[in-house]
Structure 1
């Protein structure tokens, strides 16, 4: 953790009848401390409802950079709080859950990335934002799921691209761009739980519902989707869609 990103222990969830009182206490603390609450759109509804801003990791970090609040409470995982701290070095960034890890971040230890980079001096490293600050520091450029295709298209043509840490996102980008890349073998444990067979069953049950999938899903899932896009673009796509039911292949918090 960068200096200023604090981690605090998490208490057991209160019973439902105490949620209103807890929400009032949180909002009063926020007012007293001049804090802003940022919640990732994967969070449970109760947390999203308390937040000042809800969005994806990049959008929330951009909101963090704009805020006048002295304290930033980031309801997300480690790398999100790190990114907010990088953009706000003079502010206190709080990460409420010390165990809020990310399988993608954990799949790419910086020392292992450094060792792989040393095997090819011509590597040009693109790091998906879902990685640690140490890995970001080793990269030539940082991308999001929303701009990864454009980043790869703009990469120097004489370089060998190393894409870390999500191999499914990297494979999707290769499909879109035709640019060969070396892919780090990391995955999001939630998105790889989606299977081709599961989506076939769901589509049989809801034949008129379009499928929207995150590019971190395996290719066998993406190939069934009507749209593959980032979480922020999912929201926009669903708002524009005339469909009464939509199948979302990502975290359930997106349904809120």
Structure 2
């Protein structure tokens, strides 16, 4: 395994002091003592990015020190896919889960894509296999198959087009057909079917973060916080989406907060989402009943630094699989 020379830090002052300008961004959500632990890695990452011409793509569910202090591009899965397709960096570090790193590699086959922890998986991606997709095609010949990006490259290679939660309805409607197959998230499929009027055959997958929210949770929130605005992710069950004020991707939720500026808001999604948006809108009240994604939390500034220093966990995809999967992702981006 190749590596680079460990970064030499400036001798003057401490890393905590030298990164104080970065800490200013997150001081409302990260205690000073915790920053003292994080600062060395944050500073090293900043130097390593320059040395290696590297870019860090971070999903909205990453912790604030990653999202606000080391990431170059942040956003939902669609945003990261779009940006991965246009970056001129030599190295891409994906601060997210493994299917996102695979997507970045699909769109940048000649670049080095690093995954800080290859064990950062996804319950949705793990719920379906390429053989399952082939069986669905045999059972429903002629129906187009749409794969949520929360799937492996091997599954993407078996489908017609990919989608994200942000563009799923557009992708479904693009076929102009009364019936399609969408996998693997059954709740996203049900919510998109309700939005578009298209009959969607779905798979029995679900996100372990979003499936736990209930309509009762929303009723209790409204009782405890009169006037609160409730935003949910479309991976939540349909009854949760119906009870909310707005449902959308993580990017759409962030945009909603920025445009509408609700005085009191709750985001029923992964915990770090509220932390990251609250940094941008300190005047708004964020109520925080949330669920942690154990996979997203495997990514840390320490293993991002290690990935850059050691060229560790390079993402590789079988060329034939990659060629087929790339088509489904590029069709999505073309929409």
Same fold, TM-score > 0.5, yes or no: yes
- Counterpart of 2:197 in structure 1 is 178
Confirm whether residue 145 of structure 1 aligns to residue 145 of structure 2. Answer: no
Q: 1 CA distance for matches of 2:173 and 2:54? A: 39
Confirm whether residue 119 of structure 1 aligns to residue 139 of structure 2. Answer: yes
Query: 242, 257, 277: which is aligned to 1:238?
Result: 257
- Counterpart of 2:100 in structure 1 is 80
Q: CA deviation at 1:48?
A: 0.8
- Counterpart of 2:227 in structure 1 is 208
Residues 85-104 of structure 1: pairs in structure 2 closer than 5 A:
85-104=105-124
Moved more, 241-250 or 183-192: 241-250
Aligned length: 241
Q: 1 CA distance for matches of 2:52 and 2:167? A: 35
- Counterpart of 2:207 in structure 1 is 188
The list of structure 1 runs, each at least 4 consecutive aligned residues, that deviate by more than 3 angstroms after superposition, is: none
Whether the 8 Å CA contact 2:177–2:198 is kept in 1: the answer is no
Confirm whether residue 105 of structure 1 aligns to residue 125 of structure 2. Answer: yes
Q: CA deviation at 1:204?
A: 1.1
Confirm whether residue 134 of structure 1 aligns to residue 154 of structure 2. Answer: yes
Q: CA deviation at 1:120?
A: 2.2
Q: CA deviation at 1:122?
A: 2.1
Q: 2 CA distance for matches of 1:83 and 1:108? A: 17
Q: 2 CA distance for matches of 1:241 and 1:142? A: 30
Residues 209-228 of structure 1: pairs in structure 2 closer than 5 A:
209-228=228-247
- Counterpart of 2:80 in structure 1 is 60
Q: CA deviation at 1:133?
A: 1.0
TM-score (norm 1): 0.90
Q: 1 CA distance for matches of 2:169 and 2:80? A: 21
Q: CA RMSD in A?
A: 1.4
Q: CA deviation at 1:242?
A: 3.6
Flag the structure with higher helix content. 2
Confirm whether residue 36 of structure 1 aligns to residue 55 of structure 2. Answer: yes
